Structure 1
Amino acid sequence: MKETDYHTYHRLLMGEAISHSVLPSRIKHSSIFKQLLESGIVEKTKVGRGFCFMVSDTMNYRDFFSTTFPEKDTSISKSGNIRQFRDSKARKVATEAVFFLRGFSAIRLEDQTLDLGHYTQNFGLFAVKSPSLETKKICFVENLHPFLMAENLLGNDYVYIHKYGRIGAKSIKPFKLGEALVFVDYDFNGLDEYLRIKSVFPQAQLYIPENFETLFERFAKSLKGNKAVASAQVKSSLLPEVVKIRNLVERHHRFLEQEILFHD
């Protein structure tokens, strides 16, 4: 998206009402904005003789914003938020990327060898911020609970990694990786995360279980809020694995959580 798009969506995030005449036509007629309206995350309200747009579902809009602009650079401090809004979470702040790691082999971290197996077996995980990481076989896991038991599904050969918050390309560019697997929810947000990772590591593959269609038919849940909004890159992707999941989600308006893969 363009810089003006970011500023417009950010104004909505800050609670502003934007009049119909002021909202850029490019945004007004975009599929993303239409989906925000259709899902009730943004509402169109009559004001006097005109209309304005404002956020009606703050939680899901924040999720949408962080997914669409995962690592937009800002210089906003928490103390500044408190002074201006009396709320340290009122708007996005610049933070360092925090990653959780699990695995059963040694890795290179900040040019040092780390026995990741020791930390996994004794403490459950290893946490590090903004790392320079090198490993031969890695699996990105979107959600925390599946991350904590991923080896039960995918084995002990991978280094499993989970980021606190959405993954952006900037945070993983310092990594040096061999094989890369991406294990996410089978929805628009998961596909968006996969495409962001693949933009940095073209060798990355999306994990899709062999019985995916059966699992989807039995356990798929209705799309709600932010999960019903597909990013521009998800909608335009021609990758077969993305097209497969996207079409299924769009057709049934349902998605499959990665947690279901751990159920018998």
Structure 2
Amino acid sequence: MSAWLFDLGNSRLKAAPLGEDGLPGDVLAFAHDGMALAAGWDSVLPPRIDAAHVASVAAPALRVALLDALAARAGRISLASTQPAWAGLRIAYAEPAKLGVDRFLTLLAARRRGGASLLVGVGTALTIDLVDAGGRHHGGRIAPSPTMMREALHARAAQLPAVGGGYRVFAADTGDALASGCLGAALALVGQSREAAVDACGGPVALLLHGGGAEALLPHLADAVHAPALVLEGLACWARPDGARR
């Protein structure tokens, strides 16, 4: 049976075949403007798909456009949603539906990898979640990503550029100061969360980074693991037969 995984985010659509090992295959990524999917994105897909598994945090109209495109070639479509418990994972939220499905799926992926993990997603927002080795989600944090911080400052003060500059502990020009301040704020939040995670779990906690902005943080975080397909990994867990869900 051919199955594909689709992760529709705020700025990109990611797609990958589901391998026989239960993991995503080679990942394809397509940028979008939040209003419409990239022209011709589906030309890379096979003419027929037995099953399509979808996770979406994008606007409803964009999600509908994706589902409509998949309906023309997929025998079955499943849309992932956050659940209070799944495959040994237990969500901390009293109202699980309020936890974004992308965060839920990264927690599933971390549970599959095993051990305690601090998950850091760097996209439009900076998200942080902790799951311990027993599968208990301790909760998380949401903050603006460094890119969003820059854009917000530029929107309020046009003389502050939205891009450019390099990271310096103490910068000697505005571009570097902006880059350093926004990236530094994210790094400080991750660092503080990492210390708290080790205390909460009573031992080592893996640091997994994903999202389009993760690479900017990686050089500054010792032992961090870049896991760019983490949402798709979790979606692959979601797609497993009913017997694997508990």
Q: Same fold (TM over 0.5)?
A: no
Between 1 and 2, higher relative CO (CA 8 Å, sep ≥ 6) is seen in 2
Larger Rg: 1
Q: Normalising TM by the smaller chain, what interval?
A: under 0.3
Q: Normalising to structure 2: TM-score of the pair?
A: 0.26
